[in-house]
């Protein structure tokens, strides 16, 4: 029996690459959870941080999953967007992690693809002046929809990681969505399969943007790193 194989032009290698990215994110977060004495800060210059540990976990996850080209760059500047004729402020902004890929099946003048990942802590305020759940929106989600950051410009989806350090899942989501409403952006939908204690809960949010691509899907991976 002859099985018809799909034409090369019908294969979405970028879609397949993004599926690999999602697998690597999940595996890396599970590896991160296994580590004892995790640092408190997601990122801190010259200090032990969650993002630094996560970067090592990305490498281990790629090795375990046999996906050698799926480790992201940490703290690399936004890549130039081909639709911008001149340099813009967004090119000086630095997402936490970023995957860059060249889609050889796309047109040469639009073959570059990026997937941006921003990481923030979730839970009780860390000080009187620093509310983690508000910060997740103001300095996380908003960077995907507003100038000057314009994270994920030219992409139709990207992701955020939420390091859950305290509080209950539903209380965190309510506070995050309350801030989202204040910013007049779409709320995050609860995980369709319910919350997963001691693991990863995956949520989604569809956003409208004034720059390409819109509507835009922002995926949220909330990892439970609370200590009993």
pLDDT digits (tens, 9 = 90+) for 28-78: 999 999 998 899 888 876 578 999 999 999 999 999 999 999 999 999 999
With respect to residue 165, please indicate whether it lies within any of the assigned structural domains: yes
Q: Quick one: 201 exposed, middle or buried, by C-beta within 10 A (0-12, 13-18, 19+)?
A: buried
Instruction: Give residue 6's pLDDT.
Output: 45
Distance CA 177, CA 182 (A): 9
Q: Enumerate the β-bridge partners of residue 73.
A: 98
Q: Which two tokens stand for residue 66?
A: 């046999």
With respect to residue 1, please indicate whether it lies within any of the assigned structural domains: no
With respect to residue 3, please indicate whether it lies within any of the assigned structural domains: no
With respect to residue 2, please indicate whether it lies within any of the assigned structural domains: no
Mean pLDDT of 105-125: 94
> What range defines the domain where residue 176 resides?
8-224
With respect to residue 26, please indicate whether it lies within any of the assigned structural domains: yes
Distance CA 159, CA 114 (A): 11
Distance CA 57, CA 25 (A): 9
What's the structural domain count of the chain? 1
Burial pattern 28-55, b for ≥16 Cβ within 10 A else e, equals bbebbeeeeebeeebbeeeeebbbbbbb
**CATH number, domain containing residue 150:** 3.40.91
């Amino acid at each position: 029996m002859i099985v018809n194989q799909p034409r090369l032009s019908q294969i979405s290698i970028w879609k397949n690459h993004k599926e690999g990215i999602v697998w690597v994110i999940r595996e890396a977060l599970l590896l991160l959870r296994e580590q004892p004495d995790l640092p408190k800060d997601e990122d801190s210059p010259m200090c032990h941080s969650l993002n630094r540990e996560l970067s090592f976990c990305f490498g281990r996850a790629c090795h375990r999953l046999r996906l050698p080209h799926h480790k992201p760059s940490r703290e690399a500047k936004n890549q130039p967007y081909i639709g911008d004729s001149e340099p813009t402020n967004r090119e000086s902004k630095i997402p936490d992690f970023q995957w860059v890929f060249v889609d050889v099946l796309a047109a040469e003048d639009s073959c570059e693809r990026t997937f941006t990942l921003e990481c923030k802590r979730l839970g009780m305020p860390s000080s009187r002046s620093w509310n983690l759940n508000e910060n997740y929106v103001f300095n996380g989600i908003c960077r995907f929809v507003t100038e000057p950051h314009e994270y994920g410009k030219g992409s139709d989806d990207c992701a955020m990681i939420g390091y859950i350090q305290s509080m209950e899942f539903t209380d965190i989501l309510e506070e995050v969505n309350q801030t989202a409403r204040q910013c007049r952006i779409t709320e995050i939908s609860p995980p369709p399969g319910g919350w997963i204690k001691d693991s990863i809960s995956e949520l989604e949010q569809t956003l409208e943007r004034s720059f390409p691509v819109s509507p835009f899907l922002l995926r949220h991976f909330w990892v439970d790193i609370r200590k009993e």
